Amino acid sequence: MEESIFIKQINDCKGLILKLIGLYAYSINDRNDLYQEILLNAWKGINSFKGNSKFSTWLYKVALNTILTYNRNYKKPISYHSAMEDLIIPVAPQSETREDVQRLHQAIRKLDETDRVIVTLHLEGYENPEISDILGISANYVGVKLFRIKNQLQTFLTQL
């Protein structure tokens, strides 16, 4: 892929990358490091993108693998924080308050890593087959997990 096309595609997906990073890291240093690491890994692996899926799907997979690898390799927990003023996922109608969205983020952070990934992809508008491609699990299993995750989130939200 040509560099200018790659840069345009990355810029088109920047919000997606930042939202994903925001669910796993809060400190500015961790976020910046992860963003740079994701861009580097995407550039190094661009030849593995064959166009069988959307670029954003491929990039999401690269970003997710980078974040999880970063977390494992540095053996330090990525610090989480309840406020995410600059990284809000548009999951609620406009009438919902910023506080409601922040509560949802807090609840999502209580999920285990896999569930957090599944619900984040779902909230980004990915369909079950796309989520299954990214995670390497069946679409039916994604549906089951989403049902369970929604129940968990409802429980967490009532406790906040």
* pLDDT higher than 70, residue 3: yes
* pLDDT higher than 80, residue 92: no
pTM assigned to the model: 0.64
Domain boundaries, the chain: 1-81, 86-160
DSSP 34-60: HHHHHHHHHHHTGGG--SSS-HHHHHH
- 86-160: which CATH topology? Arc Repressor Mutant, subunit A (1.10.10)
Percentage of the chain beyond pLDDT 90 is 22
Q: 49-58, 90-99, 127-136: which has the minimum mean pLDDT?
A: 90-99
Let me know: does 146 contact 120? Beta carbons within 8 Å. no
Same CATH topology for 1-81 and 86-160: the answer is no
Find where tokens 């580097």 sit: 40
**Domain 1-81 listed as CATH 3.40.50.620:** no
Distances (CA, A) of 10 to 34, 58, 62: 14, 11, 12
